[in-house]
Amino acid sequence: MEQSNYSVGLDIGTTKIVAIIGKENEYGKIEVLGIGRSKSLGVHRGVVNNITQTIKSIQQAVEQAEADSGLKIGSVVVGIAGQHIRSLQHSDYITRANSEEVINEDDLDKLCNQVYKLVMLPGEEIIHVLPQEYKVDGQAEIKQPIGMYGGRLEAYFHVVVGQVSSIKNIGRCIKSAGLDLGNITLEPLASSDAVLSQEEKEAGVALIDIGGGTTDLAIFKDGIIRHTAVIPFGGNVITEDIKEGCSIIEKQAELLKMKFGSAWPGENKDNEIVSIPGLRGREPKEITLKNLSKIIHARVVEIVEQVYVEIKNYGHEDQKKKLIAGIVLTGGGSQLKHLKQLVEYITGMDTRIGYPNEHLAGDSDQEIASPLYATAVGLLMNAIENKGRNPIYQEETKNEKELVLEGHPERRATDRKKSERKTVFDIWSEKLKDFLDNAE
């Protein structure tokens, strides 16, 4: 199978790296062809801090996915998170030369590209420019201005910004692992593609993705992304606390958390005890489950409260901005027992656990439908979407498609539509023209 028929998402996390290969089936669902995961060793709180280790881990995950699927991985879509990510609101406008013509895709592109030129703090770069709503000649609250008349086109944007060095380091790791970087996507956006339904995005929902090193937040209302944030705490700090609090090694702490951990201390009886083998012939340690869940509870409360501050910053308490669909929890950390109840208790908002199975084909492996893989599945969806439908005249548009894949990700989709509008004859005549130009 050639690379054009399948896509690859690569989730570079703090605890694990996942490479996932898949394609869209005839029902528009995603068929996973292969998956590989490896322990992530060179990433701290979502940021690469050891290039050599990260390259090794990426290669391991990729080789596993290739062996699983029998396919070769070329270009990948990668997620980015980390405490250096911030988002801001920005409004911008263009004045159109001819208000007698209807607004088209080119106008929207022009407006978007203008935002990419914003001057950021030193060392920062714009990752995403997401239009929220448009204004045409002062008429507000327009979702889709294409086809309207107007001289002044204005828009409110949600701009996601990250550190250039972090983005470059990720690019460097991908290149050194022998892969091509297709696109970089914000991880909370990828996770939300995988686990949220359109109805939830319309009603208003906060997606909380609790990973190993970071907790990512994405808020949607009226079908539009309204707020994103990355909080530099995740499941690893809980493990760290258990390790310190019980004086045991990390491996044991992680196992304790996963097997017996609970976010709700009242749940455990006083006499429930776990015995942990001592190191090298030392006495085994006995730990009460009540103490264990107290340690976990204290840290989880801190993480949830930080996320809730961000939800309040967005303006959740304002009647018009109310998040009716409440909260969706995903990521590996969401599998902690009684976390849903704790989040509901702290925030007073409806909560559910998000599984990325909504878009997966029916016969997919159960394992992939776990919240652990939400980001990876979302990145795969992004890779498939970016690829777009391959026109029938694939061979002839080869060069054109390579050109489309340069420039901003936001521009790609519109460029692709334009390239598809051309007929075979148009392309043939352009080729002829090029040939004649070169012959002179």
Q: What is the pLDDT along the chain (440 residues), one digit of tens a residue?
A: 667 789 999 999 999 999 999 999 898 899 999 999 999 999 998 899 999 999 999 999 999 999 999 999 999 999 998 889 999 999 999 999 999 999 999 999 999 999 999 999 999 999 999 999 999 999 999 999 999 999 999 999 999 999 999 999 999 999 999 999 999 999 999 999 999 999 999 999 999 999 999 999 999 999 999 999 999 999 999 999 999 999 999 999 999 999 999 999 887 777 889 998 888 888 889 999 999 999 999 999 999 999 999 999 998 888 999 999 999 999 999 999 999 999 999 999 999 999 998 888 887 788 889 999 999 999 999 999 887 533 222 333 333 333 333 344 444 444 444 444 444 445 545 555 565 555 54
DSSP helix/strand/coil, 73: coil
Quick check: is 224 in a domain? yes
- Which residues are within 8 A (CB) of 166 and not within 5 positions of it... i.e. 6 or more apart? 47, 48, 80, 82, 84
Find out whether 303 and 215 touch, Cβ atoms under 8 Å. Answer: yes
Question: Is 60 part of any domain?
Answer: no
**Buried (b) or exposed (e) across 252-271, using 16+ Cβ within 10 A?**
bbbbbbeebbbbbbeebeee
Closest Cα to residue 164, out of 184, 143, 149?
184
d(CA 307, CA 325): 16
Residue 432 amino acid letter: L
Give the per-residue pLDDT at 83: 86
Q: Are 208 and 352 in contact (CB under 8 A)?
A: no
Q: The domain containing residue 309 runs over which residues?
A: 206-353
For residue 365, the model assigns a pLDDT of 81
- What is the pLDDT, as a whole number, of residue 431? 55
CA–CA distance, 218 with 159 (Å, rounded to integer)? 13
The helix (run of H) or strand (run of E) holding residue 416 is helix 409-421
* Residue 435, domain member (yes or no): no
* Residue 209: closest CA among 194, 222, 226: 194
- Assess contact for 159 and 117: CB atoms under 8 A: no
Burial class (CB in 10 A: 0-12, 13-18, 19+), 365: exposed
Domain count, the chain: 1
> Does 367 map to a domain?
no
- Is 276 a member of any domain? yes
Which CATH number covers residue 330? Answer: 3.30.420.40
Rounded-to-integer distance, Cα 398 and Cα 395, Å: 5
At residue 411, the pLDDT reads: 42
List the 152-163 sheet strands across, edge first: 86-95, 152-163, 124-136, 139-142
What is the identity of the amino acid at 403? Answer: L
Q: Could you tell me if 228 and 189 are in contact, meaning their C-beta atoms sit under 8 angstroms apart?
A: yes
In a domain, 231, yes or no: yes
Question: What amino acid occupies position 254?
Answer: E
CA-closest candidate to residue 173, choices 332, 67, 71, 38? 38
pLDDT for res 28: 87
Residue 4 lies in a domain: no
209 bridge partner residues: 216, 330
Answer whether residue 299 is part of any domain: yes
